[in-house]
């Protein structure tokens, strides 16, 4: 929930991930990356999966989730 000071609430938010946008269901200041577990401030959230309903901290985290074989040791 956005107010003139930013997202209201504190702690982890519950978010609905949409195509090109997201909706805050339960107020909070961050979500956790589904791959790394790192906290992502809502105002910095850029990457998520609509189908898997999960956020990612970085493009590398997106690749690890969707193409894990690329990160497996070769040998």
Does the model's pTM come out above 0.75? Answer: yes
- Report the alpha-carbon distance of residue 3 to residue 70 in Å, rounded: 41
Q: How many CA atoms lie within 13 A of 25 on its CB side?
A: 7
Q: Domain-by-domain residue ranges, the chain?
A: 2-67
Tokens encoding 13: 């938010």
Contacts for 50 with CB less than 8 Å, ≥ 6 apart: 17, 18, 19
- Tracing tokens 């910095």 back to the chain, one arrives at 44
Q: Which residue has the higher pLDDT, 32 or 75?
A: 32
Report pLDDT digits (tens) over 2-46. 444 455 578 999 999 999 999 999 999 999 999 999 999 999 999
According to the model, what pLDDT value does residue 72 have?
A: 82
According to the model, what pLDDT value does residue 2 have?
A: 47
Question: Residue 66's pLDDT band (boundaries 50, 70, 90)?
Answer: very high
According to the model, what pLDDT value does residue 6 have?
A: 52
Contacts for 26 with CB less than 8 Å, ≥ 6 apart: 9, 13, 14
């Amino acid at each position: 929930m956005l107010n003139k000071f930013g997202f209201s609430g504190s702690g982890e938010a519950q978010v609905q991930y949409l195509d090109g946008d997201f909706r805050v269901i339960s107020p909070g200041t961050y979500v956790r990356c589904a791959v790394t577990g790192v906290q992502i401030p809502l105002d910095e959230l850029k990457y998520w999966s609509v189908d898997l309903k999960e956020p990612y901290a970085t493009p590398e985290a997106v690749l690890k989730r969707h193409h894990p074989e690329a990160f497996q040791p070769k040998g």
